[in-house]
Amino acid sequence: MQSDRLLLRGRILTFTSEPQSPSDTASYDYIEDGALLVGDGKILARGSYCDLVAQAGDAEIIDHRPHLLTAGFIDTHIHFPQVQIVASWGAQLLDWLNSYTFPEETRFADGDHAAAMACRFFDLLINHGTTTSVAFCSVHKGSANAYFEEAEQRNMRVIGGKVMMDRNAPDGLRDTPLSGYHDSKELIEKWHGRGRAHYAITPRFAITSTPDQMEMAGALVAEHPDCYVQTHLSENRNEIAYTLELYPKAKDYLDVYQNYGLLSSKMLLGHSIHLEPREIDALAETGARPVFCPTSNLFLGSGLFDDEGLRERGIVNAIATDIGAGTSYSMLQTLNEGYKILQLQDQKLHPLRAFHWITRGNAVALGLEDKIGTLDPGTEADIVVLDARATDAMALRMDRADTLSEELFVLQMLGDDRAINEVYVAGRPQKG
């Protein structure tokens, strides 16, 4: 019988901890002529090619030399119904939502449209090396079903949820406190823990949820403490001012979510830019995760994320594209813009930490590092094959690169989907 096991040969890089400096060689394992033995959707062994070929039996050998194999990328904040409004001109957050985003999301009432877009969405993710997404779907239950169904067909580990939003949105894009609760509950029962799927309870943000709906979101969190929770926090100054008008008793923006019992290490808070000291204390105490969205924050002119300030408080930051306010599906381009945002604040994003962040770091933020984000035996075989010479500009630069860190920095600053040579999802090649 033909084995379904694969032996992937190439240069192997995986992280064991967050790199503490640009020269922290103890934080990763790098094998120059390495291999991964893959079977049953998992990584069975990692080692030198020489050692593994001896134990690989009849596994099919796929030679990826001279390319670099890392864990698949993880995008921790992305809006699946916004694929057709990426690069919409001219506005900051609240105008952008009203002019482009909300009208577009009303189209996801149509289940066929949602299914077609889900297919295109996951094609794009895979082509950019992203093997796990944490997505906001539209308010419509069917959009979340389309998202999870497409991911299930591809056997991808995903997190997602239908947004709850019952005010300050157009007709056709509002639920009610009760329908939002029941639809979310039905989706949790259907999808959470099925195959590789997880559900995220998703009140969109304070502006689009009444206190009654926030209370229902709190009830869902209490009833399903193992679900994720995702929302937006302090992205834009006008957003913050309007939020405090709508919730006059709240001490600050985060206090709205805190009052309804939403904060825990399962909570992902997109943007988290303009934070008050009390909010930072609350993040540190509860373990809730800010999500840095560099391309989006620059595109909407939202502000500069204080990565170092939060990290110094022991807060675990995730990083993400935030398509469709984000301008690239590529986690490499996300690192590129992230590097520049940190430069503006005299902070540093060195290449080892950058590659750790989009793989194991984001997995840690999700509490999934035993499943994804590394190339450790026993974890799921979500793998990207990277070509740092993918374009002429990259190849020329690489002629002068002598170290692994330099190669990673070329990928971080110049890489995009062209640098993704192959992608494996649960051990299956997706491109070639």
Q: Which is nearer to ligand GUN, 15 or 205 (CB)?
A: 205
The whole-angstrom separation of Cα 237 and Cα 94 is 10
Quick one: what does residue 213 bind among Zn ion, ligand GUN, none, with the CB cut-off 5 to 8 Å set by partner type? Answer: none
Q: Footprint of Zn ion on residues 235-274 (CB under 5 A)?
A: 270
Kindly write out the interface string for residues 62-91 of this chain, putting x where it contacts Zn ion by CB under 5 A and - elsewhere. ------------------------------
Q: Which is nearer to ligand GUN, 98 or 155 (CB)?
A: 98
Q: Which residues fall within 8 angstroms of residue 275, CB to CB, at 6 or more apart?
A: 233, 234, 254, 283, 306
In the sheet that 28-39 helps form, which strands lie side by side, from edge to edge?
42-48, 28-39, 6-15, 60-71, 383-386, 420-425, 428-429
The whole-angstrom separation of Cα 370 and Cα 380 is 9
Task: In angstroms, give the least distance from the CB of 40 to Zn ion.
Answer: 35
* The only residue of 235, 307, 369, 416 in contact with ligand GUN, by rule CB under 6 A: 235
Q: Which two tokens stand for residue 16?
A: 């064991």
Check if the beta carbon of residue 59 is closer than 8 Å to that of residue 39: yes
Residue whose Cβ sits closest to Zn ion: 270
* The only residue of 14, 70, 76, 101 in contact with ligand GUN, by rule CB under 6 A: 101
Taking Cα atoms as reference points, which of 404, 387, 383 lies closest to residue 7?
A: 383
* Helix axis angle, 177-191 to 141-153, nearest 10°: 10
Kindly write out the interface string for residues 294-323 of this chain, putting x where it contacts ligand GUN by CB under 6 A and - elsewhere. --x-------------------------x-
Q: Which is nearer to ligand GUN, 52 or 298 (CB)?
A: 298
Told to check if 198 binds ligand GUN by CB under 6 A, we report no
Q: Which is nearer to ligand GUN, 91 or 398 (CB)?
A: 91
Quick one: what does residue 204 bind among Zn ion, ligand GUN, none, with the CB cut-off 5 to 8 Å set by partner type? Answer: ligand GUN
Stretch that binds ligand GUN, among 93-101, 110-118, 151-159, 393-401 (CB under 6 A): 93-101
Q: Which two tokens stand for residue 77?
A: 């904040």
Q: Which residues fall within 8 angstroms of residue 175, CB to CB, at 6 or more apart?
A: 139, 164, 165, 166, 183, 213
Check if the beta carbon of residue 155 is closer than 8 Å to that of residue 423: no
The whole-angstrom separation of Cα 140 and Cα 157 is 22
Q: Footprint of Zn ion on residues 267-306 (CB under 5 A)?
A: 270
* The only residue of 232, 289, 350, 356 in contact with ligand GUN, by rule CB under 6 A: 232
Binding residues for ligand GUN, rule: CB under 6 A, are 79, 93, 97, 101, 204-205, 232, 235, 296, 322, 325
